[in-house]
Amino acid sequence: MTTAREWPTRGQASRAPVARPVWKAEVDWQDRALCRGANADLFFSPTHLEKREERATREAQAKAVCARCPVRQQCLEFALAVREPHGIWGGLNETERKRLWRKQAG
């Protein structure tokens, strides 16, 4: 990847331009992902306000798919590398990935 992106803070997200990362990572693992062709609504928040219970149920269903996926680790590594701010990737939601990224960063 040639452009690194920090996790935006709440104030930054509304005013900072979003840099589209350019990566050189292999992404052919995506062809083997169990989520490929699945309902994206499981993996990404809806455009309307989602109740806590609805989110927990949706995320649990998405994570169940990830738990069986043969490319879960590659998916998570990719999401961490590009600082993916949305959705379930590699079995982790946005908050979990952010926490893991900060832990790895030191």
Q: How many structural domains are present in the chain? A: 1
Please report whether residue 76 resides in a domain: yes
The SS3 of residue 97 is helix
CA pair distance 34, 74, nearest whole angstrom? 13
Q: Is residue 3 part of a domain?
A: no
User: Does a structural domain hold residue 10?
Assistant: no
How do residues 24-80 score in pLDDT, each as one tens digit? 566 788 999 999 988 999 999 999 999 999 999 999 999 999 999 999 999 999 999
Residue 11 lies inside a defined structural domain of this protein: no
CB atoms within 10 A of CB 9: 9
The verdict on residue 29 lying in a domain is yes
Give me the domain span that covers residue 37.
Answer: 25-105
Q: Phi/psi class of residue 91: alpha, beta or left (left: φ > 0; alpha: ψ in -120 to 50)?
A: left
* 5 part of a folded domain: no
In a domain, 9, yes or no: no
User: Model-level pTM greater than 0.95?
Assistant: no
